[in-house]
Structure 1
Amino acid sequence: MTQTNTLEQLDFAQNNLEKHSVNIHKFGGSSLATPECLERVVSIICRHCQLNDIIVVSANGKTTDLLLSLQQLALSGEPLDTSLALLSEQQTALIYALLNAENAGRLAGEFEQDLNRLVAWLAEDPAVFESDILALGEIWSARLLSALLNERICASYYLDARDFLVIDNPRDCRVDNPVSKANLQNCRRGQKLAVITGFICKDHAGNSCTLGRNGSDYSATIFASLLSAKNVTLWTDVDGIYSADPRVVPSARKLHRLPNAVARELGRLGNPVLHKKTLQPLTGSIGGAASHLHVASSFDVQAAATEIGEFGQIARQELSVTHLNDLLLVTCEALQGDVLADIVAEFSPVYSDQKSGQLVILASQQKALTDALAVLGAQLTVTPVSLIAAVGYQVALRLDIYGRFKRALKNDRVLRFFNSEEQHSIIALLPQETTPELLNKVHHEIVKDARHIGLVVAGLGNIGQRFLELLPGQLSRIPALENVHLVGLVSSKKALIQPDGLEVNSALADFSAQATDYTNGELLDWLKHHPYDEMILVDITPSEAFSRLYGEFFDLGIHVIGANKWAASAGTDIYHELKNKAGKSGSLWLGNTTVGAGLPVNYALDDLLGSGDQITEISGVFSGTLSWLFEHYDAQKPFSVLLKEALAQGITEPDPREDLSGRDVQRKLLILARAAGFELSLEDINCQNLVPESLQELGTEAFLQQAAGLDAYFLQQYQQANEKNACIRYIARFSSQQGKVKAGVSLELLAVEHAFANLTPCDNIFQIKSHWYQDNPLIIRGPGAGRDVTAGGLHSDLVTACRQLVNKQHQVTLKGIN
């Protein structure tokens, strides 16, 4: 949804708003519990809703529990005064805390009328009026939120769902679609935002009914079906659906995308977020449209939601563990044929088996089942049981998972293992409760390697192409990359983003055929909503402009592997800001290939510092181009001729002055000095530009035509060196002695036996002195450029990042815990 379609932009033409597809936003009781919670909800609606969307609400906080307790008190003949006073106090406190005096007075008057009606129902027949009593919570919630929106944001009205939603009977809650749809169309008002009660409805006789506890989620998806809504968002107190109940399993990981069938199975088997009927309207079972369901936290709007819908193979690899206690294993000879079919249709048991005459039901269903079988004169036995299940797409057909599930339970009593009908779960029936310890043990065995990492590659030049050529082999043989998925390719102008993953063997060809123009804003928006546990962006561009996006990448928790030197050598303030952002969000920022291609220079510095050593000097030949030039230059041919030969071989930059200026070496020395723990800026490093001022401002072609202007200087330098039995090399030097820092890059005369004097052309050499390596410095030498070694260095960083991320845990945003 674009920003111009939200309620923050009410000056947008209203008739245009009406053309957009409807979205449903449902807010649960915990999201509406206090004035602070309601303020957050108003902010969410303002930022995420269109005028023609539907807001669905539960009762505020624990209002439904309080109404139910009042009904129970009335049934038992106990006094109601204390509970009624508490109910009145809670509701009026919300009203007066949020609304202006005029609106608060009006709503308080309407609430007082409802309270009188409630007292009358409780006195007359609390059992008959149960649904009317429980419906009051949603009415109060919808009325208050609508009044708040009218006062703060936009024109709004509230709807009692009983005015349009008709079901066949309270037991099955099957919706009469044609009647309900027509009723809803008649109830809606143009140019106003609708707030509708969840949980409640009516039957064909006009009697109030409810959709069961937690039925407001079901209401939201019913309304989505009736209106062919594009998306349904359930705003709750947890930021998504997890691989286990995060209140019990601290290592549970968020499931970013779930196939519909898997989500239905999770709801059936006790997932604490998903109501078992919620998905029915979205999957066509009552005529629903192809909507996607999102589970998001109203307490942490920035956290990525879990999305439920139809996805590709990556989402189908997700695994989770769920459990249910308070179950009963019922054995009865009458549970055969039509009798069993009728019982299954009425009670939706977790498990049924005609051969053994058994089924598993919720303990709360025992009386109703006993009554149903008593009519047949059947005897039954009941055994308390629990279940624990591994859930995932076709998980029962995955022998490795099946084996791990059974091994995790090998020391526990298991009555039987069985699979769900659609093979989306493996279930163990236990004669004892499923304990938190057992749930954590099984979760560890099943979900331990299911963490998914998305990979976006920016920069598809020579090195980027080689990186991608190496990727299939790396993914197949490096265990740390097992769950890495290439999901995006980005060039300077075009991008190909595929959330379900690109085929790595044909990624470049697919990019050529399918990539489209993009803006940085579009790229950031996709990264903001990516469906992975972690996202790594590999920046192989030379672009300073692209490096300016790093701060926003880090704000989104994106990890960056960069061969791009611009960010790591940026101004001191910018550099520290980037480091702080990366640290705050937990983003990794690896850049070993910014200096020395694939040579482990940064790794060596990190290791020394991490081990307690202190760096005192860094020096060497940091430019593969300048290394080649000065290893070959012997004054037998003019320097300008040698330079053009290097250009023709692709050794120099397209404009060789980029190499001769020393700026690249200067930046590399800055990066290494910072990696060694020193506060330094580019201006602190003296840089000798090897290009005369007379040639610096020319165009590239003009420079090449006048390149002979370089020859006299280099000939002179060579001759002076030769006279001293020395050679010339372009050297970077940094030192820190007694608190004084000295840094510079320049052409130097070196003894022919010096370590920097005899390199293989294009090699880099790095000499590191430290407290541990003072008399005998550490030297790292090897190719400092080249597509293979640079691509290899990037893959080294990728493996390092994935190994660090494999055990990373995200904080679960759960009200009452965090």
Structure 2
Amino acid sequence: MRVLKFGGTSIGSADNINKVINILDEKSKSDNIVVVVSAVGGITDKLLEAANLACDKNLDYKPAYEVICLIHKTIIDELFLNSEKNLTIQTHYTQLHQIVSEKLSELSRLLDGIYLINELSPKTKDKLLSFGEGLSSTIIYHTLKSRQIDVSFKNSQDLIVTDSTFNNAIVNFGITDKNIKTYFDSSSSAIVLLPGFIGKSLRGEFTTLGRGGSDYTAAIIAANLEAKELQIWTDVSGMYTTNPKLVKQAAPIVQLSYQEAIELSHFGAKVLYPPTVLPVLKKNIPIVIKNTQAPKAIGTTITEIVVPNGGSPVKGISNIDKIALLTLQGNGMVGVPGFSKRLFEILAQEKINSILITQSSSEYSICFGILEEDAARAKEAIDLVFEYEIQLQKIDPIIIETNLSIIAVVGDKMKNHQGISGKMFSTLGKNNVNIRAIAQGASERNISAVINKNDVKKALNCLHEQFFETKTKQMNLFITGVGNVGERLLEQIKQQKAYVKENFKINLRVIGLSNSRTMVVNDDGINLKHWKDELKDGEKASLEEFFEHAKNLNLRNSVFIDITANEAVANSYANYLKESMSVIACNKIACSGDINYYNELKTLSRKYNASFLFETNVGAGLPIIDTLNHLITSGDKINTIQAVLSGSLNFIFNNFNADTTFHDVVKQAQQEGYTEPDPRIDLSGIDVARKILILARESGNALELSDIESASFLTPKANSSESVEDFFKTLIEDEGHYQHLLKSAQKSHCQLKFVAELDNGKAKVGLKEIPEGHPFYNLEGKDNIVMFYTQRYSEQPLIIKGAGAGADVTASGLFADIIRIANN
């Protein structure tokens, strides 16, 4: 014999009930089965809603009641479609409608009574709630009979006897076991159908078995009959490694031990309720969690002993929300026995359950977690009990913290593996998940932590990634600035996404995109094949709103990427770093602006464990800053830096000759994207000054931009031009000046290069004539070159050379920074 329990979602519609009937019909052909059913999905809540309205003298209880009637009558009508074509089926349909109408009329009278007396006692509440299971079991029974399936019906209230603790009655197993045995000894039906959740007291009063009562009913019957197994049918394919609504990578757990199942269900896994396990555990009866929508799925099997499979010792990660943390503390507690006894006695008297308890070794404080709804009542009762000690200031009034959740890592074999708790807490720490309290039993089967409720999704995802996924690290990217470079970066991410995931176990997801007009944020990731359309249809762009979206999503491994030249965007970096979101800056303003802000960003990066990378600030995709940092980290000291850092200016002076005009070369550089849309930014030397300033600061020199000596090669008219158009006019007018610079260099057999230098803490930039044989002389195209003279490279410099401008190489530098953060 097998016992099958079907939850509310499994029988929540006519379509689902038909699926249940197919399952029962198939299983009853090979074995006798007992079927326990819950109320139709959502009906228990609707019954309570109607009753509370009636108790509050609110006539809206009548429409609420009509909704309950409509739901059940609609299910019946849909189950018996075309019943008029078969006289037998039509007879069952008519009988069922009559029985259900009578039950609903009785429910109406009960609600009217609640309205009249303006009271909803625990006893009346149990009678009210019994209608849910009574109606659902009646509908399913008559539907089975109409389809000529061998089924009998038994009211659980005739079998399960309890005390008079209404709403959460305690079963009298002595009488209950005899009742069950007597009935089933005489039953010969292939299927026996019973309502779950309900019982009767010794005085014949309606009682209910509390939260998860239908599971408990099924477990009691399975244990008494020593069934082959207890099957719990629900809307998911077993117990999952974690909450699948919050973690998309969550997967069903094939096998669990009873103890693991109890721990997971106690800490929030709602598929199974802890009391369910106890009756079958004693008889070693397997529990199988199955999915009504996918009956062929394996599901989860819960047994006494689970054979190790060589995988992770962690079986699951669960969470409980709406937790309050209460702390009793004070010097008067130290070394004084009895405080814990008094504290937990008063909680027991108030029927408040402690979910988590921890105490400092100094005995200065006791911390415990309870449901948030019980917090105010608990504080009032505890402060009253300890009123004398509080007045004497031996202890403090109870402290309450709310908006918390508990996360628990569960597994039988965790105690045999070193470092599980270390991995758990380091993973949470890296993702800036603050832990308020910790509890771990001596069995090491469960490690629990109290965290802010806003961090639950991030905590579950990063822990699941750590313990269950193939070490694939998910990187969630928020990108602002999707012009030329941004577009190339998105193309590189799309092109390399599969390769990076396969070879480096890094899953790149673009969550947010923004330009100066619109922005789009998608928690599931933006489709990079259609990102332009999504961005075009996005909401109005806002720096503040973009940040709020990123903050509120609170995703693990979040990275903000700035591909603009916007000062306001640069000024937002601190906000991201304070939320432990890494920042990648293509924008040079933050690192070359006020040194106090630069230092603040560095400090925030360390404090909040969030990377702040800006490799593309100097040399686009060249590893200049990374190399510099490695030199300094290894103990080397920078003496001198000489560099050509503007690919734009290098392109211009490499293409400027006697056969061209300076104006035409600058125009060509602008059109081919080697300069900014406003070439004055490049030709003024300010961009190069910012770059050498960044290298100076990374070398340990506290310089401001005003400290950089800059010698302009432009004419006064060019420097004072008010528009790009006017600037180009001055280049034509002053062509003689630029030809003179060229001829002077040619006369000396030199090349013109715009050079940046840092020497003994002083920096300068300017146009220089570079002689033959110098490493800068043959620098071609848009290439950059940097020479580091250090204590170790004192005679022959360490040279980095390559393309230092262009959208593709800049995008590749940003891509490299993303991978650096992922590997951190």
Q: TM-score, normalised by structure 1?
A: 0.51
CA distance in 2, matches of 1:371, 1:656: 82
Deviates more, 1:628-637 or 1:397-406: 397-406
Query: Is 1:657 aligned with 2:680?
Result: yes
What's 1:429 paired with? 303
CA distance in 2, matches of 1:399, 1:769: 53
What's 1:543 paired with? 566
Kindly report which structure 2 residues correspond to 1:671-710, keeping only aligned pairs within 5 A, or say none: 671-698=694-721, 699-710=723-734
Query: Is 1:179 aligned with 2:93?
Result: no
Kindly report which structure 2 residues correspond to 1:632-651, keeping only aligned pairs within 5 A, or say none: 632-651=655-674
What's 2:174 paired with? none
Kindly report which structure 2 residues correspond to 1:118-517, keeping only aligned pairs within 5 A, or say none: 175-184=47-56, 186=58, 206-208=120-122, 341-342=193-194, 390-391=241-242, 393=244, 418-421=288-291, 426-431=300-305, 434=412, 436-437=414-415, 440=420, 445-447=467-469, 449=471, 452-479=474-501, 480=504, 482-512=506-536, 514-517=537-540
Q: Is the 8 A contact 1:767 1:779 kept in 2?
A: yes
Q: Shift of residue 484 of structure 1?
A: 2.8
**Code of the aligned partner of 1:554:** L
Q: Helix, strand or coil for the counterpart of 1:619?
A: strand
Kindly report which structure 2 residues correspond to 1:77-116, keeping only aligned pairs within 5 A, or say none: none
Distance 1:653 1:609, change over 3 A: same
Q: Helix, strand or coil for the counterpart of 1:420?
A: strand
Distance 1:397 1:687, change over 3 A: closer
Q: Helix, strand or coil for the counterpart of 1:727?
A: strand
CA distance in 2, matches of 1:501, 1:366: 38
Which of 580, 584, 604 is the aligned partner of 1:581?
604
Q: Shift of residue 581 of structure 1?
A: 2.3
Q: Deviations over 1:732-755 (max 9, x none)?
A: 11122xxxx121111112211110
Query: Is 1:559 aligned with 2:582?
Result: yes
CA distance in 2, matches of 1:399, 1:564: 38
What's 2:816 paired with? 796
Q: Deviations over 1:424-482 (max 9, x none)?
A: 96454333893543795997542564754321221111111111112222211103564
Distance 1:779 1:724, change over 3 A: same
Q: Shift of residue 182 of structure 1?
A: 4.7
**Code of the aligned partner of 1:535:** S
CA RMSD between the two structures: 4.7
Query: Is 1:735 aligned with 2:759?
Result: yes
**Code of the aligned partner of 1:688:** A
Count of residues in Structure 1 that have an aligned counterpart in Structure 2: 480
Distance 1:420 1:786, change over 3 A: same
What's 1:715 paired with? 739
Q: Is the 8 A contact 2:601 2:612 kept in 1?
A: no
CA distance in 2, matches of 1:732, 1:503: 42
Q: Shift of residue 571 of structure 1?
A: 0.9
Highest Rg: 1 or 2?
2
Q: Deviations over 1:562-606 (max 9, x none)?
A: 111111111111211222223222221111111111111112112
Q: Is the 8 A contact 1:486 1:501 kept in 2?
A: yes
What's 2:162 paired with? none
Q: Helix, strand or coil for the counterpart of 2:821?
A: helix
Query: Is 1:756 aligned with 2:776?
Result: yes
What's 1:595 paired with? 618
Q: Is the 8 A contact 2:254 2:298 kept in 1?
A: no
What's 1:152 paired with? none
Q: TM-score, normalised by structure 2?
A: 0.51
CA distance in 2, matches of 1:597, 1:529: 32
**Code of the aligned partner of 1:588:** S
What's 1:614 paired with? 637
Q: Helix, strand or coil for the counterpart of 2:194?
A: helix
Q: Is the 8 A contact 1:554 1:581 kept in 2?
A: yes
Q: Helix, strand or coil for the counterpart of 1:509?
A: helix
**Code of the aligned partner of 1:463:** V
Q: Is the 8 A contact 2:196 2:218 kept in 1?
A: no
Distance 1:490 1:395, change over 3 A: closer
Q: Is the 8 A contact 2:717 2:730 kept in 1?
A: no
Q: Shift of residue 501 of structure 1?
A: 1.9
What's 1:774 paired with? 794
Distance 1:446 1:744, change over 3 A: same
CA distance in 1, matches of 2:603, 2:757: 28
Q: Identity over aligned residues, as a percent?
A: 25
Q: Deviations over 1:86-131 (max 9, x none)?
A: xxxxxxxxxxxxxxxxxxxxxxxxxxxxxxxxxxxxxxxxxxxxxx
Q: Shift of residue 687 of structure 1?
A: 1.3
Q: Shift of residue 798 of structure 1?
A: 1.0
Q: Shift of residue 638 of structure 1?
A: 3.6
Distance 1:674 1:660, change over 3 A: same
Q: Is the 8 A contact 1:390 1:405 kept in 2?
A: no
CA distance in 1, matches of 2:229, 2:667: 90
Q: Shift of residue 499 of structure 1?
A: 2.0
Q: Is the 8 A contact 1:391 1:424 kept in 2?
A: no
Q: Is the 8 A contact 1:537 1:558 kept in 2?
A: yes
CA distance in 1, matches of 2:791, 2:477: 39
Q: Shift of residue 370 of structure 1?
A: 9.7
Distance 1:556 1:724, change over 3 A: same
**Code of the aligned partner of 1:788:** D
CA distance in 2, matches of 1:566, 1:518: 21
Q: Is the 8 A contact 2:486 2:563 kept in 1?
A: yes
Q: Helix, strand or coil for the counterpart of 1:538?
A: strand
**Code of the aligned partner of 1:681:** E
Uncovered stretches (5+) of structure 2, i.e. residues with no partner: 1-38, 61-110, 130-166, 168-179, 200-209, 231-237, 261-283, 307-410, 422-444, 446-463
Q: Deviations over 1:347-381 (max 9, x none)?
A: 9xxxxxxxxxxxxx99999999898789x9x5789
Q: Deviations over 1:676-732 (max 9, x none)?
A: 233222122111222222322222212211213443333333333333332221101
Q: Shift of residue 509 of structure 1?
A: 2.5
CA distance in 2, matches of 1:396, 1:487: 16
Q: Helix, strand or coil for the counterpart of 1:687?
A: strand
Q: Is the 8 A contact 2:196 2:214 kept in 1?
A: no
**Code of the aligned partner of 1:722:** Q
Distance 1:452 1:685, change over 3 A: same
Q: Shift of residue 662 of structure 1?
A: 0.4
**Code of the aligned partner of 2:51:** V
Q: Is the 8 A contact 1:535 1:558 kept in 2?
A: yes
Uncovered stretches (5+) of structure 1, i.e. residues with no partner: 1-166, 189-200, 213-217, 219-276, 278-330, 348-360, 805-818
Q: Helix, strand or coil for the counterpart of 1:791?
A: helix
